[in-house]
A and B are shown apart, each in its own frame.
Chain A
């Protein structure tokens, strides 16, 4: 597709439920990022993939959060045993080249809005 696509757009989960959020990056993009954005805040980094390799997962808040990109294209962010503090928008982003390039524009999807009740 033309842009980064995320699904579902909206998800209401009961506390303790597991959720899976999907990201389809722009075709051919090497880098893929997940960010978490709480209401009224800027996005915060969760994890980074270069192709299928997860090179940085330093932002994942707990071991309940897991991300994968097995074939270097589509990525899934999984949250186990959801808690109320997990309520946020989860943004996926991709860029053409590996990180560190000085002209590496990053393109964001519209996000998956997760509410844990």
Chain B
């Protein structure tokens, strides 16, 4: 059974810092991995999707990496801003279509 874990559960950093959020999964047989952002009281916004054959994806200040063999993904946020404050969720698609989510990392970027 696929299990997804995110560390840390919460993170507080000063504005301008670069930071890394971690995601690990137990079964390396995945189709893709997706990082989402969730603001309080809102739904999920897709940030980056990494195919199983890819190593990384970049969008603006965000870079996500994938290492299937070790069951790990990281989300790197460069030059963090207060507007980046949100909960970040990673989710694995093992090919059945349903996403298995981690519990999320709640990020606070202080001005």
Measured CB to CB, the residues of A under 8 A from B are 4, 31, 33, 35, 40-45, 48, 55-56, 59, 91, 93, 98-111, 113
Secondary structure call for the B interface: strand
Count residues of chain B with CB under 8 A from any CB of chain A: 29
30 contacts between A and B (CB under 8 A): A31-B97, A33-B97, A33-B98, A35-B99, A42-B4, A42-B6, A42-B89, A42-B101, A42-B103, A43-B91, A43-B101, A45-B100, A48-B97, A48-B98, A55-B97, A56-B97, A91-B43, A91-B44, A98-B97, A99-B96, A100-B31, A102-B53, A103-B32, A103-B51, A105-B46, A106-B34, A108-B44, A108-B45, A109-B43, A110-B42
Q: Given A45-B99, A45-B100, A48-B98 in contact, is the A102-B31 Cβ separation under 8 Å?
A: yes
Q: Is the CB of B43 within 8 A of A110?
A: yes
A35–B102 Cα distance when bound, in Å, is 13
B103 contacts A41, CB within 8 Å?
A: yes
Complex: chain A residue closest to B54, CB-CB: A102
Partner of A103, one of B43, B49, B98: B49
Which residues, 54 to 99 on B, are CB-close (under 8 Å) to A? 89, 91, 93, 95-99
Among residues of B, the one whose C-beta sits closest to the C-beta of A42 is: B101
Q: Judging by beta carbons under 8 Å apart, are B95 and A59 in contact?
A: no
Report which B residues bind A (CB closer than 8 A): 4, 6, 31-32, 34, 36, 41-46, 49, 51-53, 89, 91, 93, 95-104
A111 CB contacts on chain B under 8 angstroms? 42-43
| B3 CB to nearest A CB, Å | 11
The CA-CA distance from A104 to B41 in the complex, in Å, is 25
Known: A91-B43, A108-B44. A102 touches B99 (CB 8 A): no
Given contacts A40-B103, A48-B98, A56-B98, 6 further A-B contacts (CB under 8 A): A42-B91, A42-B102, A43-B44, A43-B91, A103-B51, A106-B99
Residues in A whose Cβ lies below 8 Å from that of B102: 42
A102–B101 touching, CB < 8 Å = no
Nearest chain A residue, comparing its CB with the CB of B50: A102
